[in-house]
Amino acid sequence: MWRHGRGRLGRRASQVAACALVVGASCSAPAAQEGMRGTPFEEPLPAPALRLADTEGNSFDLRRQAPGVVTLVFFGYTSCPDVCPIQMATLAAAYRELEPEVKNGIRVVFVSTDPDRDTPEVLRAWLDGFDRSFVGLRGPLGEINEALADLLLPGVVVLPAGDGSDAPLVGHPSAIVAFGKDGLARYRYPFGTRSADWLHDLPRLVQGP
Partner 1 sequence: MSWWCFAQQEAWTWTWRPLLGVWILLAALGWAYRRMLTSLRAEDPDWRLEPWRPTLFGAGLFLLWASLDWPMGPLGASYFASLHMVQFLAVGVAAPALLLLALPARAFRRLGSGSAGVPSILAAASHPLSAFAIFNVTMTVTHWPSVVDSLMPTQFGSFLLDGAWLAAGVVFWWPVIAPVPHRPGFSPLAKIGYLALNAFLIRPPFAMLIFSENPIYAIYELAPPPASSAIDDQQLAGVIMEIGTAWIMFAGVTVVFWRWMRAEAGRPPAPYSGDASTG
* Whole-number Å distance between alpha carbons of 50 and 75: 12
The residues, any chain, with a CB within 8 Å of residue 11's CB and separated by 6 or more, are none
Query: Are residues 47 and 184 in contact, defined by beta-carbon separation less than 8 angstroms?
Result: yes
Q: Burial letters for 123-144: b for 16+ Cβ neighbours within 10 Å, e otherwise?
A: bbebbeebeeebbbbbbebeeb
Q: C-beta of 129: minimal distance to partner 1 in Å?
A: 11
Query: Are residues 137 and 60 in contact, defined by beta-carbon separation less than 8 angstroms?
Result: yes
- Applying CB under 8 A, which residues contact partner 1? 1-10, 81-82, 85-86, 89-90, 93, 97, 163, 191-192, 194-196, 199
Q: C-beta of 82: minimal distance to partner 1 in Å?
A: 4
Query: Are residues 80 and 170 in contact, defined by beta-carbon separation less than 8 angstroms?
Result: yes
| Nearer Cβ to partner 1 (81/120) | 81
| Nearer Cβ to partner 1 (185/201) | 201
* Whole-number Å distance between alpha carbons of 190 and 83: 10
Q: C-beta of 122: minimal distance to partner 1 in Å?
A: 16
| Nearer Cβ to partner 1 (2/57) | 2
Q: C-beta of 126: minimal distance to partner 1 in Å?
A: 12
* Whole-number Å distance between alpha carbons of 42 and 51: 25
Q: C-beta of 41: minimal distance to partner 1 in Å?
A: 23
For CA atoms 160, 79, 192, 208, the dihedral sign is positive
| Nearer Cβ to partner 1 (57/166) | 166
* Whole-number Å distance between alpha carbons of 128 and 125: 5
Q: C-beta of 85: minimal distance to partner 1 in Å?
A: 6
| Nearer Cβ to partner 1 (73/92) | 92
| Nearer Cβ to partner 1 (180/192) | 192
